[in-house]
Structure 1
């Protein structure tokens, strides 16, 4: 087989395989994006106003399969304007219960379940404190 014939033959094969890859890519781009579970879409993060209404209310945090109760102690707003909403939440977990700093599922009846990064912030009369910082951009 001459070199020219070989290049033309293999070029055609490579070109057709590339087209099938492009077709698969096109299908992938037009298909709906699946979340963690089929049909699950992460809820939008609640803003500081939603949390202000929930101060002193109980939340459930899920460090595993079993939930743990915690209380929202305060909402500290850094700024709220047309550009965004920056704030910190302080939670308390009963004395004797601790969480490692990390991402947890946090749930409340009014705002649903969200994944939040909780960082240990010390101890106090209400128990162990945890802080969650938010910077929501509009």
Structure 2
């Protein structure tokens, strides 16, 4: 009789441990999803603010018969534009203009990166889209990591 009680107690404790472990896994998964979603909303909000600041800077540059876009630059932004855009909204991330419509004087491609989030804006005709991606960076290589030249 006592042996059956021991089996019953061990089985009961094993079930409790299993339920607690499953609850922790589910809770952690929900927390991670909510955290990523909130971060994505913040990144999108900042990207839209930067885009509006760049549009305002573009209007100012248009008056001077220039554009905000310079395809020769790595980030696609003309000299002095970042300073003008920062007067309106100071961004904490990095942005680049990927395409520009010179006839309509408007930004048609734009990327904004903050933390692990990459926000992409694309406009074709009257249709536009904002995409937010969560980037899991496995490895990042730059010139400081150059092991071949021994730097």
Give TM-score, length-normalised by structure 1: 0.35
Structure that is richer in strand per residue = 1
